[in-house]
Structure 1
Amino acid sequence: MENNSGNQLEKAPLTPNLKGRRFRSLRWKISLGSSLILLAVVIMFCFISYLGLMANFDNQRDVEYRRYSREINSLIKNTSQNLYQLAEMIPFLDEMKNALIKSDGEGISKAFDQHWALLQFHNGVEFIHFYNQANQLNASWDSLDTNIDGNTLLSTWVSHVNQSERPINPLLCRESCIQYIVSPLLVEGKKAGVVVMGISLADVFLAFKRIAGADIGLLIKEQNNLLLQNDFDFLRWNVHIPALTNKERNREILNKAAQIYPEMPSLNDGIQIRWNDQYQQLKLFPLNSYEPDKAHLVVITDVTAAVNNIHDSIWKIALIGLIGLIFSEILLFLIFTRLLAKLKDVVFVLPFLASGQFEKLRLSLASTDRVQRFSDEVDTLSEAAISLSLQLEKLEQEVSTRTTMLIEQKNALSKERDFVENLLDTAQAIVLTQNSEGRIISLNAYGEMLTRYTESELLGKSFLNILIPEYESQDSLSRFNEIHTGQRMQLRHEAITHCKDGTTRHVAWLHSHLSRRSADDPSILSVGLDVTEYKRVEGHLAWLADHDPLTNMFNRRRFSEELEQVLSRAERYRHPGALLFFDLDRFKYINDTSGHQAGDTLLKMVAGMLAQTIRTDDITGRLGGDEFAIILPEINASGAIEVAKKVLDQLSLAQLTISNRTHKISASIGIALFPEHGANIHDLLAAADLAMYQAKAMGRNAWYLFSDKDRSRERMHTLVYWKEKIEHSHLHDNFVLYLQPIMHVKSKQISHYEVLLRMQEKDGSVLSPADFIPAAEHTGLIHAIDHMVLRKAIAQVAKIYQAGFKVSFSINLSAHAFNDPELLPILKQELMTRDMDPACVMFEITETAALEDLPGARALMIEIRELGCGFVLDDFGVGFSSFYYLRELPVDVVKIDGSFIRNLSESSDDLILVNALCSVARGFGKKITAEFVESAEILSLIEKIDIDYAQGYYIGKPAPAATFFMKSDS
C-alpha cells in the first residue's frame, strides 16, 4: 500500500497538466500526420508529372507547328518557282519566238494553242495572258474568272513589270487563293512584253496533307458579312472556307471552335478543343498575300491519342502512390506501437529529476530495462536521463563553489571591458552603439576623427537623422526595427555619411543585433568602414572603360553604343540624322617630325575645338589614332554640311608651334545621313568612311556628302572589302615582290630587273596590282603601299647584293607619290640603313603620274636624282605631250608603251611610230626600253631599230627573287 501511495504522489505533478485534455497516443498522431504528408506527396507528384507531360506535349506541338509553317512556305515557294520556270520556257516553245518579237496576238494564239492543254493538264496552270510592251493584251487562255477588280489590278502589275523588267509573284486571295507570276518575256536578249500566269493553291493543300498528315483549310475574310451568312461555308469569324480537306468533319470542328473562341486571332498560338470525345488542335497560319491579313491557313490535328496517354499515365502514377501510401502506414503503425511502449516507461519517471530524486530515477529505469540485442533512440534517452541525473547531482554540489567564484569573475570582466574600449578606440573603423530608439549611445575615437563629431555631441542623437539623413525612409526604419527586436540579426548597406564640417564620406555600414538585459543597454552595434577612396577609384575605372583618356571623348566602343541608340531612336520616331567621320590631314607627318607629344597636344586641341563647335545634344568620339566622329541627331543634309564647315573653319584657326616648327590643322570630313545612307552601324560607318576618302581626293581640308552616285552597295562593299584586305595584308606581311628581267638587246645579257608588287592570298593564289591598287588609291592607302614597296624593295636589293649579284633594279612609284612628303625621308633612311649604292636603284613613273603635278614631279625627281638614283619614264608615247615631258623631266630611260610593241611584227604603222619615238628619245640622250616583247620576231625587229633594252614574257616572266638569285637563300 505504501508503495502504491508513493507512486501516486510521485506521479502527482503530471495530473494538473492532463486535466480536461483527452489523451491521444503518439502512434495515432504520427500515423495520421505521416499519412497526410504522404498523401500530399502523392498528389504533388501527380501534379508535377502532369505538368511535365503537358509541357512535353506542348513542346512537341510547337515543333510540329514550325514544321507545318516551313512545309507551307516551301510548297507555296515551289509553286511560284515552277510558274517562273514556265514563264522563262515560253519564248523557247515552237513558233513562239517570232510571234513574241512581232507582238502578233493572232500569231501568239496560234502558236500557243498547241501548248495550252499540256500546261493546263501537267502543270495545273489556270490561265495565261500575253501583253505587249504597251501593256495591251495580245492573247489569253483562261479556265477560271480572272477579273481582278475589273482587270485594273492586273494592268497595274503588268505596267510595273514592263517598267522594272523584273518578275513579281503576288498571291491574291478573293473567292480562292491564286498564285500569280507576272514575268517579262525576253527573246534573244530583247523585251517582248509580259506574260501573266496563275495557278490555284489546291494542289498545295493536298500536298501538305500528304506530307504532314494533318488536315488543312483556307479561311478568307469577307467585308460583306450579310451576303455570306447564308453560305454553308461561312463561319462566325466573318470568313468563308473555299478549301478544306475532310470537309464535312472539319467544318463541324471549325464551327465549334468559333463558338468557343469568338475572336479568330485566338488561333494564332494554337488552341485545343474536344469534339465527339476526341481532342483536336487548331493552329492559324497567315498567308503572305497581296492583301495583308486577308487569308489564313488553318491546320487541324487530331491529338486524341496523345492526350489519352497523358491521362492514363497520371492515373497509373496516382494508383501506385496510393498503394505505397497504404503499405507505408501499416508498416509505420507496427513500428511505433512497440517503440512508444518503451517511451512511455521513460516519460513517467522523468519528473523525479525536477524533485531532485536522482537515485530513485536511476533505480526505476534500471527495473524497466529489458535485455535487447540492438539499442534505439528510446534506450539512448533512458541512458541520457541517467547521465543527466548524475550531472545534475554533481552540479548541485558545484553551485556553492561557483557562487564564490562569481565575485572574482566580476573583477576580471571589468578589466576585459577596459581592454575592449581601448581596442575599439584604436580600430580603423567607425564603431558606435544605438539604443532601441535608434539614438547613439557611444562612439569610438576613429569615428570622432572621421565625422568631426565628439561622442558627447552625438550622445542621444538619432543615428539616421544626423549621420545618414538620405538613408532615412519608411523601409529603412522598418529594417532597423527588425534588428532592434531581434527579427533580423544583421543589416549591411552603403550610404553617404555627413560630417560636422559639411563634408561627406562614403561608408559601408554593418549593423548587428545585441542582446539586452535592460532598456538602457545598447540594441545595435554599428560598424562603418570608410570606402570613399575605393568608390573614387571605381568611378574612374568605369569612366576609363567608356572614354579616351587623352581627349576625354567617348572611345570607339562607347561611341558605337551611342550611335546604335541614336539609330534606334531615329528609326522609332522617324527623325533624320547625320554622322561626320574625319581624320586629321598629315597627322603622321607631324608625329614623325615633332614627336608623339606634339601629336597628343594636337589631338587635345582638336577635342577642345569640337566641344566648342557642336551642339549640346551632339555626340563626339575618338575612334583611334587621328580618327574622330560626330553624331548629329535630328538634322538634315544642309545642317550637317554647315556643322562640317564650322568644324573645318574652327580647325583652320588653330596652329601648333613646337621646336620652331609650326603646324596647321586641317581635316577631311565624310558625311553620311541616316537612315538614308545606312540603318545600321556598319553600313553608316562604311558610307562615312568612303565619303571621307572622297574629301581627301578633293584635295584635303574639305567635306564630302555621301551622294547617290556612291550609293552602289556593291561598290561600297567592294571598297570596304579591299580596304580591309589591304590592311590585313599589311598587318600579316602578305605583300610579296616579284622581279621581271630586262635584257640588254645587243649583248643579250640580263643585268636589270623591274620590281613588281603582288598580294599573296590564303589559298596560295597571287593577285596583281590591278586588283587592289584602285581601291588603295580611293581609300587613301596608296601612300602606305608606296612606303612598304620602297622599304621591301630596297631590303630585297640589299640582300641580293650581299649574295654577290651586281645588278640594278627599277621600282614603280604610284601617281600619288609626288604629293607625299614622307617619301623622300623614307628613301634617304633606307639607303643609309642598308648601306646601298643609290646608282643601282631606279624609279619608274608614268606620263599620267607626271601630268597630275608636273612641277611637283620634277622637283621630287631632282631631289631623288641628287641622291644618286635614276628614273625611267614608263608608257612613253601614249600621250600627245610625251616629247614635252621628255624635255621637262630628268629621266634616264624611256620605256615605250607595250601597245606599240605587241603588234610590231604585223603593223607597219606601229613600226613607223616606234622608229620616230626612238629617234626623239636618242636625240635627248635617253636609253630606250621596249616592253611586251613576246616573240623572237619582235626581239629581232627592235634590235634592228637599235633599241637598248627588251622586257616581256619572251625575255622572262615575273617571279620571286629566289627564282633568279638562288644564292640569296643560302
Structure 2
Amino acid sequence: MLQDKYFHNQAMQRNGAIAPEKPQKFLGLKWKVLLLSSLILIAIVVSFTGITYLSLMDDFESQRNAQHQRYAKEVEGLIDQVSINLHQLAGLIPFLEGMDKSLLSGNKEYVTQAFDPYWSPLQLNKGIELLRFYDSSNQQLAGWGTSQPNTYDALMSAWVHEVNAQEKPMSHLSCPTSCMQFAVAPLLVEGNNVGVIVIGTPLVDVILGFKDISGADIALLVREKGDLPESNKVKIANWDVTLAAHSREMNITVLDEVAANYPDLESLEEGILVSWHDRHLQIKPLFLERMAVSEDGARFMVVTDITSTIRTIHSSTQQNMIIGVVGLIFSEILLFIILTKPLSRLKHIVFTLPLLARSSFKNFRLELRSAGQKRWMKDEIDLLDETAVALSHQLEKLEDQVADRTRILASKMDELSKERDFINNLLDIAQVIVITQKADGEILTLNAYGETLIQYTEKELQGTPFLHLLALDGNLHDLPVHLEEVRCQRRDQLRHEANVVCKDASIRNILWLHSRLTRHSEDDPAMLSVGLDMTEHKRAEGRLAWLADHDPLTDLFNRRRFQEELEQMLNLAARYGYSGALLFFDLDQFKYINDTSGHQAGDALLKMVARLLLGNIRSVDILGRLGGDEFAVILPQTTAEGAIEVAKNTLASLNQGKITINGRTHKASASVGIALFPEHGSNVHDLLAAADLAMYQAKEAGRGGWHLFSDEEKTRERMHTLVYWKEKIEYALSHERFLFYFQPIMHVRRRTIDHYEVLLRMIDNDGTVLAPQFFIPAAEQTGLIHAIDHMVLRKSIAQSAEIQRAGQCIRFSINLSAHAFHDPELLPILKDAFAEYGADPSNFMFEITETAALEDLPAARELMEMIKKLGCSFTLDDFGVGFSSFYYIRQLPIDVVKIDGSFIRNLADSPDDQILVQALCDVARGFGKKTTAEFVENAATFSILEKMQIDYAQGFLIGTPSPAYDTSFSDFAKM
C-alpha cells in the first residue's frame, strides 16, 4: 500500500496536482536483482569452493588409507623375509665343520667348542642377537647372545618342547622389551633329530628396509611391564611405551608432543595430522595381524610427511576462491549494464500505472509516449507499453459500460429470482435424494423425490439426526467420524453405501455422496447429502452373480461352478482319505427331439430331467448341467456299488418320465458313465475324462445304460489318447494350427485343372504336419468334429472369395464328415459365410461317404437338397466299394461319383479292374452323374481312363497335395 501511494503521488506531482511530499523508503528493482544475484553467486562460489575442498580431502584420505594398507603389507613381507633367512641359517648350522659330531654326542662342551668360532661372524654379518642349542630332551646344550634374565627363557622352553614333539620348524615374534623375530627349527644330522636350535634377531632390518621401500619414518613401540627390568631405550611416558627401534631420520620430539596432546594411544587408530616446523605430518599406528594376537602390546607407528599434498590442496582451494570472486564481480558489472536501461523503462511504466486507478486514462497515455515510438526490434517492455495503452482504452470503455449495466441490474434481480425457483423445482423433480444437514448433523431440508422414496415428509425429518435414517451395521462403524470430518471442514467429500429404513420399515440401498458447503452464517447448511437409489441395481447384481454359477434353464450349477465343487471335493477326499464317485449323464436322441418338436420341447425335457435327477440323489450330492444335454452328479463318501445303485435308480426314474409337445410324446433316456475318485482320477481333468469315456462306452453298448470306468490298460490308454488329442485339437483351433493342402483334379477331355480338393492337416507342437487319420477319429469321439467342419467351411469360402476377387474362377471340393449331417448349425454357417465373404456357392462341391448318410437317410437327403439350393454340388466318395453305393446314387442328389482308388491303382495291369471300372462308369453315366477316378499315378492308367470317358482324374500324376501358400491355382496343367 505504501508503494502504491508513492507511485500515485509521484505521478500526481508530475501533473502538478499535489504538492511534493517526503517520499517513502523505496528500493529499486534493479538493486534488488543485483543484491539477490550477488547473494546467489556468493553462495554458489562458497559452496563450490567448500565442495571442492572436501572432495580433495576425501580423495587424499582415501589415498592415505590405501597407502597405509600397503605399508602393513610391506612390513609383513619384511618380517616374513627375516623369518625365511633365519630358517635357512638354522638349516645350514648342522653342516658347519665339526657341528655334526658335537651335536650327535650331545655334550655341551663339544657343542660350545665347535660353534664358538662361528658366533662372532654370524653376529656381525647376519645381525643374530641370540642363539641356543637344545638336545632332544629339551635341555639346553649351549647358548650365545645376551638378554635380560628370564625374558625369553619361558617362551623358548615352550617352543622347544613343541618343535621336539612335532619335528616341524616354527617362527615367533615376541616383544616383551624389544621385538625379536625367532626361528625355532629341529636339528637334523644324518637324517636323525638330535635337538632344536633357536635363533633370534631384532627387527632393526625391518625398520631400515621399510624406510628404503616407502620413504616414511617408522618406530617400534613396546609397552613397558612392571616385572621386566629397566632398559636404556627411549621412553614415551604418556603412552607408557618404550621406543624399541626407529628410523634414523625420525624426530623423537614429534612423538613426545603427540603423546602429550593425545595421551590415549588407542585414540590414534584412525591417524592424526600435526604441524611441525612448517611441515604437515600424518601419524598413524600400523597394525599387523601377528602383533594383534600378541599380548606384548607392541605396535609400529608410521610418520608420513604430507606437506606437499596439503599445500597443493590449500593452493587449489585459494585459486578456486579467487576465480569465484573475480567471476562474481564481473557478473555483477555485466548484469548492472544489461539491466539499467530496461529497468528504467519498466520503472517509468510502474510509476505511471497508478493513473489508471484514478481513471485518468488520457493522462496515462500521454505519460507513455514511448508506446508510440517504433523500434527496430521489440522486447517484453515494448509489449507492456502497448498492452498498457490498450488496457487504458479497454478500462475506459468498461467504465462506460458499468454505468449502463448498473441500470439493468434491477431487472436482472428478477431473473435471478426466477432462476432460484427453477433450481428449487429441479431439486424436487431430480431422481435422487437431496438432503442438507446442519453443523450438528440434523436434517434441514429434503427434496420431493426423497419424500416419495423414503415416505417421510420434510417436516417429519427436520431436526432428526441424519444417522437415524440409516441401518448401521459393522461396515459403517466409522461413518459418524467421517461425516463429522466433512461438517468440520477436515475433508471435502465422502462417498459410501448404506441401507435406509423407510417409514413403512422397508429397506432401500442408497449410494450417498456428502459434500461440504460454504457457510456464511450459523443458520446456513453445513453439508449437502445426495443419495442415489441402488436397490434395483443391487438386485440385478445379485441375479448376475447367481447366473455366473448356475444354469438359467434348470437352476443347477453350471460347468464352471460344478468343476469348482468337484475340485473342492477331490481336495477333501485326498485330505481325509475317503472316496467318492462322479456320474456323467448324456441324454439319448436329444437332438432328434429338438429337430422334430423344436427347442421348446428340448428345454421342457431338460427341466424334467433336472427335477428327476434331483429327486434321486442325496442332499449332500452335487448336481450340475455341464452344457447341452450333459449332466453330472458328485457322490461324496460312496463306493462303486453305491454309485452303480444310484445310476440304476436314476435311469429307472428317467425312463418313467415323459413329456407331450405338439401331440408328440417324448421319453427321457440317458447313458451314464461312472468314475470313482481318487481311484480313477485325482484331479478334475482326469476324472471328467474318465467319466466321459465311460459314458461313450455305455452308448456303444446300447443306449439307456451305465458303465463303470475300468482301470484296464487298454481303457486307460484310450482315455489318455482321447484327452491328449482333444487338447491338441482345441489348441490347434484356438491358435490357428490347422493348414490347408490343395490337390488338383483334372478334366480329362480338356486336360485342364477343373477344381481342387481341400485336404486338412494339423501342425504339431514340434512343427510336424499331421495327416487327418491322426486327429479326425479323436475329434469325432470328443465332439470337436463340428468345430473342425465349421472352420474348414469358413476358411475355404474366404479363400475362394479372395481368389474370385483376383479375377480367377477356382472350384473347391470339400470333404464333409459323417457328423456334419447331424449338425443343425451347418446350413446357417454356410449361408452366413457366403453372405459375409461374397463367394460364389457354385464353386463348391462337398464330398460325402455312404457312412455319412447311413444313420438317417431322409435327414441327409433333406440337408443336401437345401445346400444344393444355395448353388453347391455333391460328390459321392468311395463309389463301388459296396453295393449300397448304387442305392445312394439313386436316392441322394449326387452330381459326381468318385470311383474308389482300390480299383484304379492297378488298372493298367488288371483286366478285372478294367471291366469293373468300365461298369461303374456306365452305371454312373446311366444315372446322369459325372465320374472321377482317384489314385491316377501313371500315364498308362490315365490313357485307359481317357478311353473309358472318365470325366475327372486325380492322383500324383496330375499333381501332389501342396500347402495353401505353395499352391498357385494355375488354370491349366499339361500332361
Q: Shorter-normalised TM-score: what interval?
A: 0.3 to 0.5
- For the pair shown, the structure with the greater C-alpha radius of gyration is 2
* TM-score, normalised by the number of residues in structure 1: 0.41
